[in-house]
Amino acid sequence: MTDVAQPSGDTIMEVRDLVKHFPIRAGFLQRQVGAVQAVDGVSFDVIRGETLGLVGESGCGKSTTARLLLRLMAPTAGSIRFDGREIAHIKGSELKALRRDMQMIFQDPYSSLNPRKTVGSIIADPFVIHRMNPEGGRKRAVQELMDTVGLNPEHYNRYPHEFSGGQRQRIGVARALALKPKVIVADEPVSALDVSIQAQVLNLLRDLQRDLGLTLIFIAHDLSVVRHMCDRVAVMYLGKIYELATSEQLYAHPRMPYTGALMSAVPVPDPRLAAAKKRQLLSGDVPSPTNPPPGCRFHTRCWKAQEVCREEDPPLEIKEGGNVAACHFPLTDAEVLERVPTARNVTG
Amino acid sequence: MGEPLLEVIDLRVHFETDDGLVKAVDGISYTVERGETLGIVGESGSGKSVSSLTVMGLTRARNARISGTVRFDGQDLLTASDEEMRAIRGDDVAMIFQDPLSSLHPFYKVGKQIAEAVRAHREVSKAQAWDRAVEMLGLVGIPEPRRRAESYPHEFSGGMRQRAMIAMALANDPKLLIADEPTTALDVTVQAQILELIERLQSEFDTAVVVITHDLGVVAEMADEIAVMYAGRIVEKANADTIFAAPEHPYTWGLLSSIPRLDSPRGEELVPISGRPPSLINLPGGCSFHPRCPYVREAHKRVDPTLDEVPADPNHLVACLLAPEVRRQLWSELRTGVAPDEARKDVMTEEEVA
């Protein structure tokens, strides 16, 4: 398992067998009666300077994984190495120092900015918290940041409500960039924005990443956005990674039936392609993470499931084409093309 | 063909507020035939939801000024009394809202809520209405419908709640279903299930559907006709194939090139629309898209465009002041990946010479 999660290149983060269970307590004594297995044994590497995507349905554990990476919560088990250092269980001042290297961009540009603070002081907050005095003073540093993300530096003294959704998201990006972090985690950064504004923020993130050499972990449920942004993509289902590949490979040759179904479900903005497609529907909902199905967790909704899928959890291994996937019966290219007509264009 | 099922003519919905008059919908017209699907696309604040809420008679606030005609199956809905509207709403015209949790009552069993919708319009016993509720839940693909009808909304997942909403909307066999962002709050896999379900039920019952969304993918999969709304008006209207293959309005071009899509080569640059949607209180003069339009001319800031037929296609309407040849040339350049600024240079010089 460890070997296949290891891509070539300079790794900045190594995640091994990461587990996060949230206990469920009940009764007078608040005894633990079960656990929500939000993340259940996830291993992958993050390469310096890349954009790694995490996709999956709601409740698959992608946001929990991101919060664990940032150490906004402590993992139940497993290891996270950041720049060669184990950070899974560090505390106090060590943890605070770590925050300088890792920052987050949140989904909701309305609730993630304090309405009573000016934009200038919101973006300067990281300097205050870490008692840093950048060269030329905090104000100048903030105005430079505002300029970097495409905000007018003269609006330094305005309040968040004076900005539109897209501009607020830029404020969030500026705040995340303030300490020159090595890794930025963006959790659904554009899903609250209008279509015409989405592209502005996506282009900004992409340009910044290229210019500043950032490592970006990008979480989204929109597969087209993920493909546009990410170099590699990990597909999660019920707390586990079931497929991991480069964007080119994943979108042209998905191997795990779940990945295929996700792609097949994406509505294509082209009526002719849409009409030609055989939509691969998944029945029902994601099972409860409190009591995940045995064997392959996807078997309850998989149209290729056999007896073995119900009993044995498939290991993550390299499949045809180089994808790392966990599946007993991976998809063939013919099956993919029938269900995901867009895969054809991707290959060309 | 006879009379269209729904005919909206020059509908205007203005709200008086302390800040001024909000022109949420400003003169839109469209028709929906039986069994047909109309997609209304636009961003937040384009008036797409207000226009359909008005059709349902749900914007009769004291500060709303409504004018125009909404004719449904021969009856004028704007002049109908509240009582008449209540008889139509939920019976012949039904609506699905975006957020299924806030549209279901948390205190009542799902089955009871659907049964109540049936009893509001049909003379049936409670037991018959309950059976109808169970039947509808089964029809929309809820497993063990008889047992699940006894559940409360919080015991349902998001996708199941949306199904329950659809079951309730379709319980009285409506002729027209208005779906306002029916899948926006859902995961793609569940979205695909819901779209498939609406399509299946539509073909079974010959229901006309108006689907309102910001997602171009959703309308491409569902709609026969598409209307693109901007700042309270329809700026372009055509059949679905034409909107995607030969769009004529710069705003439609902007929408199409600002979304990343699975069927275009990876790494292609997104071209965002600059600026942001205008305030509906203080609309820009002339063409209301002009502050964001890359091809704007001086004259466009003063002249208001009308929704006119495209020369080659009488079913294709567009409200744009650019000459048809110029538009065609611009689109042919844009679709081959030319940036808007480059494309503009080509036509601007040409027109200035002329």
B240 in any annotated domain: no
Task: Determine what percent of chain A is predicted with pLDDT higher than 90.
Answer: 57
Of B221, B230, B236, which is closest to residue B183 (Cα–Cα)? B221
At which residue do the structure tokens 């009552």 appear?
Answer: B105
Q: B120, B142, B172: which is the final residue of a domain?
A: B172
Q: State residue B312 phi and psi, 5-degree precision.
A: -80, -15
**Secondary element (H or E) of residue B97:** none
Rounded to whole angstroms, how far apart are CA atoms A61 and A57? 9
Check pLDDT > 70 for residue B350: no
Confidence of residue A7 (pLDDT cuts 50, 70, 90): low
Both tokens assigned to B270:
């997104």
CA atoms within 13 A on the CB side of B242: 20
**pLDDT average, residue stretch B327-353:** 75
Nearest to B262 among A164, A224, A229 (CB): A224
**pLDDT average, residue stretch B191-201:** 87
Check pLDDT > 90 for residue B133: yes
Q: With a CB-CB cutoff of 8 Å, which residues 267-296 of chain A face chain B?
A: 267-274, 279, 281-285
Per-residue pLDDT, B100: 73
Which residue of B156, B243, B261 to mutate against A (max A Cβ within 10 Å)? B261
pTM above 0.90, yes or no: no
**Eight-state DSSP code of residue A56:** -
Per-residue pLDDT, B354: 43
B319 in any annotated domain: yes
Poorest-pLDDT segment among A276-290, B195-209, B235-249: A276-290
**pLDDT average, residue stretch B159-175:** 89
**pLDDT average, residue stretch A255-264:** 92
**pLDDT average, residue stretch B125-139:** 93
Domain with CATH 3.40.50.300 in chain A: 11-101+181-347
**pLDDT average, residue stretch A239-252:** 92
**pLDDT average, residue stretch B192-207:** 87
Rounded to whole angstroms, how far apart are CA atoms A191 and A109? 10
The answer to whether residue A261 neighbours chain B at the CB level (below 8 Å) is yes
Q: B157, B172, B187: which is the final residue of a domain?
A: B172
CA closest to B216 among chain A residues: A269
Q: Which residue has the higher pLDDT, A229 or B349?
A: A229
Rounded to whole angstroms, how far apart are CA atoms A56 and A38? 13
Poorest-pLDDT segment among A26-35, A76-85, A169-178, B79-88: A26-35
B282 in any annotated domain: yes
Alpha-carbon torsion, ordered A67, A71, A75, A79, to 10 deg:
110
Rounded to whole angstroms, how far apart are CA atoms A232 and A52? 5
Confidence of residue B346 (pLDDT cuts 50, 70, 90): low
B40 in any annotated domain: no
Nearest to B258 among A196, A285, A341 (CB): A196
- The range of the structural domain enclosing residue B149 comes to 102-172
Per-residue pLDDT, B279: 84
CA distance B181 to chain A (A): 13
Both tokens assigned to B42:
């636009």
Of A222, A326, A211, A341, which is closest to residue A274 (Cα–Cα)? A341
CA closest to B268 among chain A residues: A228
Of A73, A230, A101, which is closest to residue A177 (Cα–Cα)? A101
B226 in any annotated domain: no
Which residue of A107, A195, A237 to mutate against B (max B Cβ within 10 Å)? A195
Decide if A251 contacts A346 (C-beta within 8 A): yes
Task: Determine what percent of chain B is predicted with pLDDT higher than 90.
Answer: 50
Per-residue pLDDT, A182: 93
Q: Residue B88 CA to chain centroid, in angstroms?
A: 20
CB contact under 8 A, B263 and A221: no
The answer to whether residue B339 neighbours chain A at the CB level (below 8 Å) is no
Check pLDDT > 80 for residue B337: no
Nearest to B189 among A222, A261, A274 (CB): A261
Per-residue pLDDT, A340: 84
pLDDT in tens, A35-81: 899 999 999 999 999 999 999 988 889 989 999 999 999 999 999 99
Check pLDDT > 90 for residue B108: yes
Is beta strand B313-318 parallel, antiparallel or unpaired with respect to B233-239? Answer: antiparallel
B161 and B252 together in one domain: no
Decide if A107 contacts A188 (C-beta within 8 A): yes
Q: B172, B197, B230: which is the final residue of a domain?
A: B172
Per-residue pLDDT, A8: 62
The answer to whether residue A246 neighbours chain B at the CB level (below 8 Å) is no
The answer to whether residue A58 neighbours chain B at the CB level (below 8 Å) is yes
**pLDDT average, residue stretch A274-301:** 86
State the count of interchain CB pairs (< 8 A) between A and B.
143
Decide if A264 contacts A340 (C-beta within 8 A): yes
Residue B212's contacts (CB-CB under 8 Å, 6 or more residues apart) are B39, B40, B48, B49, B52, B178, B179, B180, B181
pLDDT in tens, B276-312: 888 888 888 899 999 999 998 888 888 989 999 998 8
Q: What's the Cα-to-Cα distance from A44 to each of A55, A223, A236, B302, rounded to whole Å?
A: 14, 20, 12, 58
Check pLDDT > 80 for residue B245: yes
Decide if A87 contacts A98 (C-beta within 8 A): yes
Nearest to A58 among B44, B187, B244 (CB): B187
Per-residue pLDDT, B351: 54
Domain total for chain B? 2
Average pLDDT, whole number, for chain B?
89
Poorest-pLDDT segment among A132-141, A182-191, B57-66, B219-228: B57-66
B51 in any annotated domain: no
The answer to whether residue A227 neighbours chain B at the CB level (below 8 Å) is yes
Per-residue pLDDT, A295: 92
Find the DSSP H helices in chain A: 62-69, 92-99, 119-129, 138-148, 165-177, 195-212, 223-229, 247-252, 257-265, 271-276, 307-311, 333-339, 342-347
Confidence of residue A1 (pLDDT cuts 50, 70, 90): very low
Check pLDDT > 70 for residue A118: yes
B166 and B255 together in one domain: no
**pLDDT average, residue stretch B86-98:** 89
CA closest to A260 among chain B residues: B189
Contacts of B192 in chain A (CB under 8 A): 264-265, 267, 279, 281-282
CA atoms within 13 A on the CB side of A94: 9
CB contact under 8 A, A279 and B192: yes
Check pLDDT > 80 for residue A348: no
According to CATH, the topology of domain A11-101+181-347 is: Rossmann fold (3.40.50)
CB contact under 8 A, B158 and A58: yes
Confidence of residue B183 (pLDDT cuts 50, 70, 90): confident
Using DSSP's 3-state secondary structure scheme, residue A61 falls into: coil
CA distance A95 to chain B (A): 34
**pLDDT average, residue stretch B103-114:** 92
Per-residue pLDDT, B149: 94
Contacts of B277 in chain A (CB under 8 A): 194, 196
Decide if B240 contacts B220 (C-beta within 8 A): yes
The answer to whether residue A224 neighbours chain B at the CB level (below 8 Å) is yes
Task: Determine what percent of chain B is predicted with pLDDT higher than 70.
Answer: 97
The answer to whether residue B159 neighbours chain A at the CB level (below 8 Å) is yes
Per-residue pLDDT, A107: 85
pLDDT in tens, A161-207: 988 888 999 999 999 999 999 999 999 998 888 887 888 899 999 99
Angle CA B225–B227–B233, to nearest 5: 160
N-terminal to C-terminal alpha carbon distance within chain B: 45
Alpha-carbon torsion, ordered B335, B337, B341, B345, to 10 deg:
-70
B15 in any annotated domain: no
